[in-house]
Structure 1
Amino acid sequence: MKHFAPKRAALRLFAAAGLAALLPAAALAADPIKIGAVVSATGPASFLGDPQDKTLRMYVERINAAGGVLGRKLELVLYDDASDANKANTFVRRLAMQDEVDAIIGSSTTGATMAMVPLVEGAKVPMISLAAASVIVEPVKPWVFKMPHSDRMAAEKVLADMKQRGFTQMALLSDTGGFGKSGRTETLKAAERMGLKVVEDQVYGDKDTDMTPQLTKIKSSPAQAILVFGTGQAPAIIARNYQQLAVKQPLYTSHGQASMEFVRIAGKAAEGIRMPSPALLIAGALPDSDVQKAVSVAYQKGFEGQFKIDVSTFGGYAHDGLLMLVDAIKRAGSTDKEKVRAAIEKTTGFVGVSGVYKMSATDHMGLDVSAFRMVEVQNGAFKEVKQP
C-alpha cells in the first residue's frame, strides 16, 4: 500500500488543482446581478421614495425566490438620499465606482436625478430615473431613461380637460422646485399651443405653509380654472386654503398628487379635485379588456398585502423600472452595460402599471399622453372622469 501512496497523493493534488482552476468560472457564473438604487426614502420627498424603496425590496425578493435572472440572484444596493441632490450625487458615484453595479434605478426627484446624470453618462452605466421632468430625457442622453409621465404630458392632459369643459382662461400656481419650475414652463407652452390664456401665474415655495395670498389673487381674477403644479404636502395645503377661501374655480393638480396620501392630508378639501393619473389608482375599476388591469391589480394586492398601506403611483414607477430592467437583461442575455442599455432602448409593448412603454433611440420615456387617465376625488376615492 505504501508503494502506491505517492501516486494517490499526486492524483489528489491533480484533482484539487483542476477544481481550483474551475472555481473562478463557477464563482463568476454565480455572482449576483447588482442593481444600484438611490431613492428619497426620507426627507421632504419621502412620499415618493418610501413606496419606491418598499417596492424595489419586495420585487427583488420575489424575483430571487423565483430563481433570479439568467440563473443569477439579484443584489439590491440601495441608498437613501434623504431628498438631498448632493447626497444623490455622492451615492451614484459610490454605486458606479465602488459598488460596481450593473445598472442604476433612481432617484425620486428631478433635482436628485439631474445631479446623478453627468456621472452616469461618464461612467456609462444604464440608469432608469423615477422622476418626472422632461429635462431628464430631453435632449436624449444615451444612458438615461425614465419611467414617470412627463410634466408636458400632465399639462396637456389637464388643459385638454379644461377645454372640454369650455374654459378659455386659467390660473397657474407652481412651486419653485425643479418639478414645479419645469411644470410651469411646460404648462405655459402648452397653454399657448392649445389656445388657453394664463391670466394668473403665481408661485410658492415647496415649504410654504399658507398660500392664501396667491389664491386670493386668483379668486378675483378672470381665471375659470386653476392648475397647481408641484409635489410634496404643499398642494394639500393649497387645497385646504382653497376650501377656506371658498374659491369657486375648479381646481386641478399635476400627477404629483396622484396618491391616497394626498387625499388623506387634504381631507374633505380634496373633494372634486381633478388630476392626470396612471391606471394604477383605478386598477380595480378597469375593464377586464384593459391590458394594464392584471399587472396593476397584482401590484396593488401585493404591495398593500405586504405593507398594509395604500399603493401609490410613485411606487408604481419603481415597479415598472425594475421589471423593465430585468426584461432588458433577459433580452440582452447578459449584464454587459452597453447590451443592457441597447435592450432598454429597444423595449416595446412593455405593459407596466404606469402605461404601455415603447422606448426608442429618440424617446427614452416611451409614453404618450394616452397613458394618463383623468381622475377626480369623489367621496374620498379616485374615480375616472369619462371624457368624450
Structure 2
Amino acid sequence: MKAYGSGLRTTLGAGALALALALHPTAPRAAEPPIKIGAVLSVTGGASFLGDPEKKVLELFVDKINKDGGVKGRKLQLTVYDDGGAADKAASFTKRLIDSDAVDIIIGGTTTATTMAAVPLAEKAEIPFISLAGAVVIVEPVKKWVFKTPHTDRLAAEKVFADVKKRGLSKVALISEDAGFGKSGHDQSVLIAKDLGIEIVADEVYSPKDSDVTAQLTRIRNAPGVQAVFNFGFGQGPAIVTRNYQQLGIALPLYQSHGVASKEYIKLAGPASEGVRLPASGLVIADQLPATDPQKPVVTTFKKTYEDTFRMEASAFAGHAYDGLMMALAAIQRAGGTDKAKVRDEIEKTTNFVGTGGMVTMSAKDHMGLKPDAFHMVEVRKGDWALLD
C-alpha cells in the first residue's frame, strides 16, 4: 500500500506526502479477505457540513488505496451509513456494522451525540472505534476501544482563553448551544476558566433550533464587566450568533470554537464574521504555515487533492476523516492483519503521526494524542482566514 498521509507513501497530484510509516504494496493474493471499514456519519441533517466531507474523504482515499494494491495486497471494503445527525440512528447503524457487516474497525461519529450513542456498542463488541467528533467526554475518561482525531473542546477553550489574556482581557461572557458539543464545550470552559485567570461574568445558552438569539446577546451586552464573548456550538447556531451580534452593535471581541473552522461558517455569517477569532487546525490555513512546519507538506497536499477532486474547500472536518483512516490503516499494517485487539493496541501506540490536525502521539492514558500547539489562532479578514499564531 502506498502512503497518503504521515504513515503511507504515495503521490497525490504533483506532490508526495511523506508518512511516518511506509506501507508498501505487495502482490494481491486472491484468497485474502478485504479489510472491512465501517463508518456512521451525519451526511445529511444539521451536521451535514461536517459529515458530507468526511464521507467524501473516506470514499476518495479508499478508492485510491485500492487502486494502489490495498494494504499488503488486501483491498479495502468501505460501508457508510448516514445517521442524519440522530443518535438513535447512529446506534442502530453501529450495531448493523458490528453484527451484520462484520467490520474490522469503525471510523465515524460525526457529532458528539452520535459518537456517544455508538461508544457503548463498540466497547461491548471490542472493536476499534475512531471518532471524528470534538467533545472531551469521548476519550476522557479513557475508553479501551475508543479513540478520536479532532482536538477537544477543552483544548479549544484553552487556546481561546490564552488569546483573550494576550489582549489584556480577563472577563468573558459565554453563549453556547445547550446540547452535545456546545454543552460539553461550555462545561469545559467553565471548568478551566479560573485556572487560566479568566472570569466568566455572563452565561447564556440557546437551542440548535433557535433562529434568533438577540435576547441572550442583549443580556450579555447589558452584563457588567464583559470584555469578550465566546460562543461554543456548530452548524447554523454560531452564524446566527455572529449576525445577531453585529445587529445589536456589540463591539467586544467575539470568539468561536473550532466547531466552525470552515469557510461555510464565514459564508453563513457573512460580513458580520469580520474580526471573529477561533482556534483551528493547520489545514484551515495550510498555505500560511511556515515552510519549516512539519504539517506543511501533509496539509497542502491533502488540501490540493481534495479541492481538485471535489471543487470545494477542504475543511478541518474532511481532515479529521483522513487522519482517522490513515491511523487506522497504519495500525492494521503494524498489527500484521485485522485482529481487533492487536489493531487496538497499535492505534494506542501511534507516535509522531503528522496528520492534518497536528502531530499525534497516543498512549494508554491519551486516546487523542494532540497537544495545545496543534491549534492555531485564526481571524476572519475580508472573508477568509488569517493566521495569528
Matches within 5 A, 1:251-290: 251-290=254-293
One-letter amino acid of the counterpart of residue 218, structure 1: I
Contact 2:29 2:74 in 1 (8 A): no
Contact 1:219 1:248 in 2 (8 A): no
The residue aligned with 1:158 is: 160
Deviation, 1:31, is 1.3
Rounded to whole Å, the distance in 1 between the matches of 2:211 and 2:102 is: 42
Runs of 4+, deviation exceeding 2 Å? 26-30
The residue aligned with 1:124 is: 126
Structure 2 spans left out of the alignment, 5+ residues = 1-27
Deviation, 1:27, is 7.7
The residue aligned with 2:328 is: 325
Given the alignment of the two structures, is residue 46 of structure 1 paired with residue 45 of structure 2, yes or no?
no
Deviation, 1:30, is 2.4
Query: TM (normalized to structure 2)?
Result: 0.91
One-letter amino acid of the counterpart of residue 241, structure 1: N
Rounded to whole Å, the distance in 1 between the matches of 2:371 and 2:237 is: 27
Deviation, 1:28, is 7.4
SS in 2 for 1:359: coil
One-letter amino acid of the counterpart of residue 335, structure 2: A
Deviation, 1:45, is 0.7
Query: TM (normalized to structure 1)?
Result: 0.92
Deviation, 1:126, is 0.3
Aligned partner (choices 216, 219, 226) of residue 217 of structure 1: 219
SS in 2 for 1:113: helix
One-letter amino acid of the counterpart of residue 372, structure 1: F
One-letter amino acid of the counterpart of residue 291, structure 2: D
Name the count of aligned residue pairs: 361
Given the alignment of the two structures, is residue 184 of structure 1 paired with residue 186 of structure 2, yes or no?
yes
Given the alignment of the two structures, is residue 344 of structure 1 paired with residue 336 of structure 2, yes or no?
no
The residue aligned with 2:230 is: 227
CA displacement, residues 108-153 of structure 1 (integer Å, 9 cap, x when unaligned): 0001110001110010110000001010011111100000100000
Given the alignment of the two structures, is residue 315 of structure 1 paired with residue 354 of structure 2, yes or no?
no
One-letter amino acid of the counterpart of residue 146, structure 2: V
Matches within 5 A, 1:1-388: 29-221=31-223, 222-386=225-389
Rounded to whole Å, the distance in 2 between the matches of 1:133 and 1:161 is: 21
Rounded to whole Å, the distance in 1 between the matches of 2:153 and 2:277 is: 16
Deviation, 1:196, is 1.2
One-letter amino acid of the counterpart of residue 303, structure 1: Y
CA displacement, residues 32-78 of structure 1 (integer Å, 9 cap, x when unaligned): 10000010000111011001010110010111111101211101011
Contact 1:29 1:72 in 2 (8 A): no
- Whose helix fraction is larger, Structure 1's or Structure 2's? 1
One-letter amino acid of the counterpart of residue 342, structure 1: D
Rounded to whole Å, the distance in 1 between the matches of 2:238 and 2:208 is: 9
One-letter amino acid of the counterpart of residue 357, structure 2: S
Cα RMSD, aligned residues only:
1.0
CA displacement, residues 231-258 of structure 1 (integer Å, 9 cap, x when unaligned): 1111001111011111011000000010
One-letter amino acid of the counterpart of residue 123, structure 2: E
